[in-house]
Structure 1
Amino acid sequence: MTILVCSFLVLTSPVLPGGAMQYAKLAGRSAPPQGLRVFYVSHSLMWYAPKPIGEMAEAAGIKNHELVGLQSLGASRTIQHWNLPEDRNQAKKALQTGEVDVFIMSPISFPDEGVENFVKLGLEHNPNMRFIVQLSWGGGDIDNQDFPKGAFDNVNKEKTPEQLNSLYERNIQEGEAQADAINKKYGKGQKILALVPSAQAMVALRTKIANNDWPGLTRQGELFVDAVHPSAPMEALNTYLHFAVLYGQSPVGLPMPGMLTKAKRKDWGDNFNRSLQELAWETVTSYPYSLVIKAAEP
């Protein structure tokens, strides 16, 4: 049986201008995909990921991965990045060069007008580029449709699987609706915008902890350093999700990232890391909006 893995960057033509947009992978194929030029506009639930993703790409044998830039604003909607003054707006400047292959955003609630604005601008200068949007979990255990409301000072993180199942449901649905609309409006028959299922992976991991099914973690609260921000295991999991969506490749078997090694927890060793990698890959390949498809062929 052969496992076929295709990312959303697979296009019909074998070679495209700039040589940056052909991605398909057969499991076990020795040749890795070509590196990408990537720009991020981010809040604090994503801005730790770009550098480790570059390290993962290098470890996976992906050459010429380039972090073009990272524009960071705390607790930011994507429209806030769009509305930055022109002289400070590094994201717009990067897109206007036409030298970005993938532009990655992390809105809070959906729809976010800034997402479509950046898509339109990017395509004007590079019609072959693609876009990735993170579906973030809600700080204070709220659905981000309700942001910024929430009991941020006193959050009960130890929820039941039933409570977790619907925790971020409305915002995920709104994110999918915006992805559908953008792909229909700008995709010309292709899907040009993918979603990273960060909220869903958070729910999956917390559910396993609630069911006492994750060695190394006994409380859901261990995934957070405060009411909002992730601790090392969740940072690692989210970074693996991004790597998988960006390159359409499994992170399973990659070296342990720095955020886990720096934690210096004996129970967060190689097996723990591999479990995070496997969860990331399963979450991505089970989620249609990631546009990473794992299909079994006879």
Structure 2
Amino acid sequence: MRKAGVIALALAAFAGAAAFWWRSAPAGPDAAAMAALYGEPLAPPQAPLAVFHIGHSLVNRDMPAMLAQLAGEGHRYDSQLGWGAQLRSHWGEIPVNGFEVENDHPRYRDARAAVASGDYDAIVLTESVEIRDAIRYHDSPRFLAAFAEAAWAARPGARIYLYETWHELDDPEGWLARIDADLSRFWLDGVLRPALGRLPKGARIHLIPVGQGLAALMREVEARGGVGGLRDRNGLFSDQIHLNDLGNQFVALVHYAVLYHKSPVGLPHVLLRADGSPAAAPDPELARLMQEVAWTVARSTPLTGVAP
């Protein structure tokens, strides 16, 4: 058999195996069980948090640094990042693409060692984009559950969060349409619920609904014809998927609202990047809207753990 034929058969086998795992993974709790499981909000934290971020360029270095500035003295954080990195790669089954470049900073810590250390109050994980491919080919629920189990083995009270991201602005399904649909069909039904199906009964992983927040913010801004110099969604992005300083600040606001159970309204909006350089700041009107939307989304999206 020619080499091309062998490769084609191998790829077909891999795809078939991946599809089998996707279909056969535990479905997890149904809607009624999810409502019961998450019916009681988390208690708000009573002290600054230590947070570990696991992800890729939609986490980046600047967003966690902005979150730390919003949270104030005592908040600390570390991370392991990559280029489009899957949870599977952070677990160590495959290489983390871009590892050397993305982790060349003082906040890097090995993900497995960090989670097993018990040093962190909260572990925030996200999956790679395209999310549907990550689910199908990289068994996202398995590795989300594995990180959660490792964190709880080291620190039973640790809070585990799944950071909902987004996709490219020019997605053929439509950017807003995909955010609306993807929360249920991929982030919840494709990742979170099957992960819970692998964990002991009663275990909870909470949601940081950044995609929902971006959609809500942009609907408000675009309906008004612009707010404070921001005219449309392109003003939050540096390209078709990566955020600029304004976008990173908004993501940090959503993280703050969910992690701390506090309104970010009135917090400073002139922030620094991770390297200490000044970030582009929203004007006061836009800053206020960003803060209000972040708080509304944290309280109104199910599974955040924040009391409505």
Question: With structure 1 as the length reference, what TM-score do the two structures score?
Answer: 0.72
In the alignment, what sits opposite 2:297?
Answer: 283
Deviations 1:78-105 (A, max 9, x none): 211112679x971111122222221111
Q: Which amino acid aligns with 1:287?
A: T
Q: Is the 8 A contact 1:223 1:233 kept in 2?
A: yes
In the alignment, what sits opposite 2:249?
Answer: 236
- Distance across 2 between alignment mates of 1:187 and 1:255: 40
Query: How far is the alpha carbon of 1:175 from its aligned partner?
Result: 1.2
In the alignment, what sits opposite 2:121?
Answer: 101
Q: Which amino acid aligns with 1:248?
A: H
Q: Does 1:132 align with 2:168?
A: no
Q: Is the 8 A contact 2:169 2:175 kept in 1?
A: no
Unaligned stretches of 5+ in structure 1? 1-5, 11-22, 25-32, 143-149, 151-158
- Where do residues 248-263 of structure 1 align in structure 2 (5 Å cutoff)? 248-258=261-271, 262=278
Deviations 1:51-94 (A, max 9, x none): 12111111xxxx53221x211101112211112679x9711111
Comparing both structures, which one devotes a greater share of its residues to strand?
A: 1
Q: Does 1:211 align with 2:211?
A: no
Deviations 1:197-250 (A, max 9, x none): 111122122223332343122232222111111122221111100011111111
Q: Which amino acid aligns with 1:283?
A: V
- Distance across 1 between alignment mates of 2:124 and 2:200: 17
Q: Secondary structure of the equivalent of 1:195?
A: strand
Q: Does 1:71 align with 2:71?
A: no
In the alignment, what sits opposite 1:199?
Answer: 211
Q: Is the 8 A contact 1:245 1:290 kept in 2?
A: yes
| Cα 1:140–1:275 shift into 2, 3 Å | closer
| Cα 1:102–1:229 shift into 2, 3 Å | same
Query: How far is the alpha carbon of 1:9 from its aligned partner?
Result: 3.7
Comparing both structures, which one devotes a greater share of its residues to helix?
A: 2
**What is the total number of aligned residue pairs between the two structures?**
242
Question: With structure 2 as the length reference, what TM-score do the two structures score?
Answer: 0.69
RMSD: 2.9
Structure ID, larger Rg: 2
Q: Secondary structure of the equivalent of 1:196?
A: strand
- Greater CA drift, 273-282 or 105-114: 105-114
- Distance across 1 between alignment mates of 2:260 and 2:40: 7
Give the share of equivalent positions with the same residue, in percent: 23
Q: Is the 8 A contact 1:37 1:66 kept in 2?
A: yes
- Where do residues 87-126 of structure 1 align in structure 2 (5 Å cutoff)? 90-108=110-128, 109=131, 111=135, 112=140, 113-126=142-155
- Distance across 2 between alignment mates of 1:7 and 1:287: 14
Unaligned stretches of 5+ in structure 2? 1-38, 101-108
- Distance across 2 between alignment mates of 1:255 and 1:119: 33
Q: Does 1:189 align with 2:202?
A: yes
- Distance across 1 between alignment mates of 2:170 and 2:206: 24
